[in-house]
Every structure is written in C-alpha cells, then in structure tokens.
Structure 1
Amino acid sequence: MSLVERLIYELGPWNWWVLGLLLLGLEVVVPGTIFLWFGIAAILVGTLALVVDLSWQVALGLFLVLSLVSLFVGRRLMNRTGRTEGDPNLNRRGSRYIGRVFILERPLEQGSGHLSIDDTVWRVTGPDLPAGARVRIERIEGAQLVVSDADASA
C-alpha cells in the first residue's frame, strides 16, 4: 500500500474535510466563485461521514449531488444579491460635476479658463465671466468642462 493510499484510508471521513478546505483555499487564489460551492459540498459530506458510516461510492455520489445543488443555489443567490451597480462615472471624474454650481476664482476670458474643484484644476469653456461668478457645469467635452452662468439660468 502506497503512502497516499494509506493516508486516505487512515484519515477516513476527514479526507472530505481536507478536500473541502483545499477547495476553499483554491477559491481564494482562483477568480470566480466556482470552488466555493465544491468546498462546501465536501465539508458537508465530511460532516455527514463523521456521523454516518458511508461507503466511498455513496460519499462520492453524495458529493456530486451536493456540489451541483450548492452550485445552482449559490449562483441564484449571488445573481439575486450581487446586482449592485458600481459607480458608472468612476473613470469619468468630470461627469460627477454635471449640474453642480461652482465659483470662479479666475475670470473666463475669450471663452476659456480654469476652474478649481477639490484638488483638481479643470479647463473650462463657456461665456466670458468675471472672477467670483457662479457657474454651472453643463457637460464634458474631452478633458474640458463646459459651463454656463448659473445666475443667468436661475
């Protein structure tokens, strides 16, 4: 009897626990959630095998059935609860400012200028306005914000 065969025989039901923990560990390394469900099924079979004496054929069949059941149930749960939308404007920072009103620190001259928002200085285009004027962000054109006079549109 080889070392592996002897180890499998001596561990008995704990083999399923070892397999389950290995599959859960693999889940951490591999993207997706496929190994999670197989790991849960292996741990459930190991727990049942500690209580009830199962032949290896029955344990393997039970593992296959529990794997499929946990896979389908888990996927349904993940699809139902995992549908949270991320920030659609994550990679378009300027789009977060559309509709908001800011105060110009420097005047807009000849249709262009700069506007400081938080820690960023944006290039802006719009009508000529003096420093201290309130501007509303209308849209984004490339890396520029298009502004309008917030007081005139109010």
Structure 2
Amino acid sequence: MPELLTELSPWVWISLGFLLGIIELLVTTTIFIWPALAALLVGIAMFMTNLGFIAQILLFLILTVVVALLGRYLLPKFEKILGGKNRSILNDPTRRNIGEIGTVISLDENEGIGVFGGVRWHFRLQEGVSVDNETIKKVKVVDSTDSLLIVRPLVNQDAP
C-alpha cells in the first residue's frame, strides 16, 4: 500500500483529470474543470519527468490555483476578442430579449411599455433617437440595463 501512494503513474493523474472532467459535465459549475485540467497537466508532466509523490501533489495544487486564476481572468478577455457576450443570458431575462421585436403599448417621451415575446416590459428608446411618439408601433430590442430594455423604433423597411 505505501508503494501505491509514493509511486503514482501518469495514468492515475490522467484518469483523475477525466474523472473530474466528467463530474464537471454533470454539475456544470466550472469548479471541477480547473483541477481536471491541472491533473491532466501533471499526468503529461509525469511522462516527461519522474517526480516524487510530494512533488506531484505540490505540482497539482500549484497548477490548480494557476489554471483557475488564468481561467478566471483570461476567459472573459477571450470572450470579448472572439465576439462573445460578456454577460450570460441564462439568468438574465432582459438579455434574452435582445433582437426581439415588440409592440408598443404606451410611450411617454423616451420611455414606455411594450410586449416582447408575450410579456410586458418597460423600455427606453436608444440614445440619439428622436421620433414622433405617435408613429412608433413596433420596436426592436438592442440592449438592456437591469430590468429595462433599450429599443430602437422600427420603420416600415425594418419590420419583418
């Protein structure tokens, strides 16, 4: 038994990495992905060098922290570069409405109420838009802030 603990094979680390990856897929929290990646990296390192048990554990712990920090701070930057949305729309219903076309119920100056996807929402006209309130019947959601939709009016050629 002591030999098992002192002589971990690279395959043990790779298996641990895949096991943690599977757990991550099941719980979808992004907590297990970083140790999974660190375990895979330790497994790859073990193919190149012969590290002792303590060195393997220390390398795993250090890599877990480094990979988690890199993921925490670099992932949002890559999302911006690749054109991804900065905020998730999963738990933000206002973001889910972006691109939706709605019907205006009431409009007073630049703010109003409309129906988007069967739900009543408060909205504000996009900055720089000035139109006659009587002519706006349809609007398209272009952004959101908190629980307020930012819309632009649709003219006849914009309507679907």
TM class by shorter chain equals: 0.5 to 0.7
Give the TM-score normalised by the residue count of structure 1.
0.54
- Structure 1: tracts of 5 or more residues without a match: 100-123, 126-137
- Structure 2: tracts of 5 or more residues without a match: 80-84, 122-132, 137-160
Distance change in 2, residues 1:90/1:69 (3 Å) = closer
Q: Measure, in 1, the Cα distance between the counterparts of 2:25 and 2:120.
A: 42
Q: Measure, in 1, the Cα distance between the counterparts of 2:9 and 2:95.
A: 54
* Map 1:1-150 → 2, pairs under 5 A: 1=1, 12-80=9-77, 81=79, 83-84=86-87, 86=89, 88=94, 90=96, 96-97=101-102, 139-140=112-113, 149-150=134-135
Q: Measure, in 2, the Cα distance between the counterparts of 1:69 and 1:21.
A: 19
Distance change in 2, residues 1:68/1:38 (3 Å) = same
Q: Deviations over 1:120-147 (max 9, x none)?
A: xxxx68xxxxxxxxxxxx83278779xx
Tell me the matched-pair count. 111
Q: Measure, in 2, the Cα distance between the counterparts of 1:65 and 1:43.
A: 13
What is the letter of the counterpart of residue 75 of structure 2?
A: M
Instruction: Please list every run of at least 4 consecutive aligned residues from structure 1 whose deviation after the TM superposition is greater than 3 angstroms.
Output: 8-11, 84-87, 141-145
Q: Measure, in 2, the Cα distance between the counterparts of 1:21 and 1:79.
A: 25
- Distance apart, 1:30 and its partner CA: 1.2
- Distance apart, 1:31 and its partner CA: 2.7
Contact 1:20 1:39 in 2 (8 A): yes
Distance change in 2, residues 1:72/1:10 (3 Å) = closer
Larger Rg: 1
What is the letter of the counterpart of residue 32 of structure 1?
A: T
Percentage of identical aligned residues: 32
Distance change in 2, residues 1:36/1:141 (3 Å) = closer
Give the TM-score normalised by the residue count of structure 2.
0.52
